[in-house]
Amino acid sequence: MKYGRLPATALSNCLLVALFSSPATHPHPGPQGPDLIAAAEDEESVEVIDELHRACWIQQVLREKLLTPAPELEARFEDVLAQFGDDGGMVRMMRMRDEVDGVLDALDLDGGGAYYSFATREHDYQKEAALSCCDGYFSSGFHGGARGVVVPIGELEISSLPLSVEPVPASWSPDLQTSWMSLWTEQDASHPGFPRGAKFPARANRQRDGLKIGQSYILRSIHLDGHDDLIAFQHVASDRFGVTLLWRRLKAFAPPARLQFKSPVERLVPAPDEATLGELHGMGAEQLLAELKRTRDWLEPAFFWVPEDHRTAYEIRMGQVTPQGAHGMCRIYRRGLLSPLINRRYGGGSVTFGEYEEPFLWEEDALLSAQGHLQSLGHVDVALDLGPLEDDELQRAIQGINPLANGDEHDGWNFIRSLRPTIARERIRLSQAERQHALHLEHRLAGDLRVRPGYSYLLRKAGSRVTRVQDGTTTETVDRTTLVTVVAADDYGATLAWHRLP
């Protein structure tokens, strides 16, 4: 796992906390009323950097322990693996993509190690992942730009399968023989994905069989901008953490994309010394996970403590205005930068302004802004960049009054507030006139919003969700407008203030 840079000096005064005791001796679940510091060379901050480094080393060892096949299994299949050569192998996959023993993102991998690409040999969801193992089934074709089919073929040794469409195994049922023939069909260049007329069992992209040991499968995975592989794999071992698969490539219809994948995290972590590495390798996975969780439980509250000077500065800007709806302040961090120390989704890189909403995700992109930008997660249907507001303009906005006298931002505010959407497929559906107006305001209505102190944004969220109840289902409809202001921002995090508008 490669990491980029986390500067060791000049850390933000909104990032690291002055801590004076170790996790083993700290009497509280987290620092109470933390003092925020400005520079990594300060004595008190070194401990936090040390904890970040150790957490990264723990994750490195966890990846080795949980994603490496057992030596006895490799020895058992030594002859078969030699037969497969470079077109086969043995791989471990996690059963759970979100958390392990209560630890989110325990392996520091997108997808938690529950995804695998036979083309790139990576466990990262973003790197042409072809197969998923979670929730008790194998699946493929689970993200945009990908197609996938997983067909079970019984407890058959995959080394006995032919490396061409013929001969079709005579013992198979007619339906399975038809699926086999379809899996070998070349793509139609004018119709990306599976060829027209290809026939597979119902819901063939997902096989829910309890992950039965000994079961074999045929996988056809098509990444529209990359690989097109026909893979046979067999489930040969399982434990509470994950599964071990023996696999073989039957045919590569297209090579991997050869793209330069962007790492979601930029950290520079020194290699551990031999004593520390030996200590970590001597610990079991459960012990490593427990230590990681204890460290997070101890440190995490400090990262989300909104500094008092930020609260005071924003209250001064609000003046005598009394908010009419729900409101608050919160911290958000650059996605993944501190995830080893934070037991929250995206490592503190997303915030929720109310139930059923996760409007903001901090995603780094140097091309947009040197300070990064905020991005909707698909839960916000319309977002307006209001730019920097004067104090009197902010006060009007908090009251639900258009803060601007003219310009595109003025029109955008009126447009968002006037929307009368219908709900379709859990999303806003606009009328044709509203869509035309939105196009006119396209350069102000955005999903990517700049993280700059003093900037404010207007968000409109409408949708519905279905909840199962004893007598059937119930549908809840949500339509909310939220004003968000960046109170302070730096290279690592930002403080946001939000108001639900009437």
For residue 71, what pLDDT is reported? 96
Dist. CA 127–CA 116, nearest whole Å: 8
For 226-273, the pLDDT digits (tens) are 888 999 999 999 999 999 999 999 999 877 766 555 555 556 788 999
Q: Which of the residue ranges 46-55, 108-117, 388-397, 415-424 would you say has the lowest mean pLDDT? A: 415-424
Q: Which of the residue ranges 124-128, 224-228, 406-410, 458-462 would you say has the lowest mean pLDDT? A: 458-462
* Section 471-479 average pLDDT: 69
pLDDT over 70 at 438, yes or no: no
In terms of average pLDDT, the best of 11-20, 317-326, 352-361, 387-396 is: 387-396
Cβ burial, residue 107 (10 Å; 0-12/13-18/19+): buried
Higher pLDDT, 170 or 72: 72
Q: CB count, 10 Å around CB of 345?
A: 19
For 387-414, the pLDDT digits (tens) are 899 999 999 999 999 999 988 889 889 8
Q: Which of the residue ranges 16-25, 58-67, 427-436 would you say has the lowest mean pLDDT? A: 16-25
Q: Is the pTM of this model over 0.85?
A: no
| Beta carbons within 8 Å of 335's beta carbon, 6+ residues apart | 264, 346, 347, 349, 350, 361, 362, 363, 364
Amino acid of residue 71:
P
Give 476-482's long-range contacts (Cβ < 8 A, gap of 24+): 476/356, 477/423, 478/356, 478/357, 479/421, 480/354, 480/357, 481/416, 481/417, 482/353, 482/354, 482/357, 482/359, 482/458
Domain ranges of the chain: 67-254, 306-500
For residue 314, what pLDDT is reported? 95
* Section 467-485 average pLDDT: 74
Tokens at 27, concatenated: 């009497």
Residue that is written with structure tokens 């997070």 in the block = 296
Give 436-441's long-range contacts (Cβ < 8 A, gap of 24+): 438/382, 441/384, 441/408, 441/411, 441/412, 441/415
Tokens at 10, concatenated: 């000049």
Tokens at 347, concatenated: 């490592």
Dist. CA 80–CA 329, nearest whole Å: 59
Q: Is the distance from CB of 41 to CB of 261 less than 8 angstroms?
A: no
Query: What is the DSSP secondary-structure string of 348-375?
Result: GTEE-SSTT---EEEE--TTT-TT-EEE
Closest to 117 measured CA to CA, from 3, 256, 241, 233: 256
Pair type for strands 103-104 and 99-100: antiparallel
3-state secondary structure of 272: coil
Mean pLDDT of the chain: 76
For 374-384, the pLDDT digits (tens) are 544 334 467 78
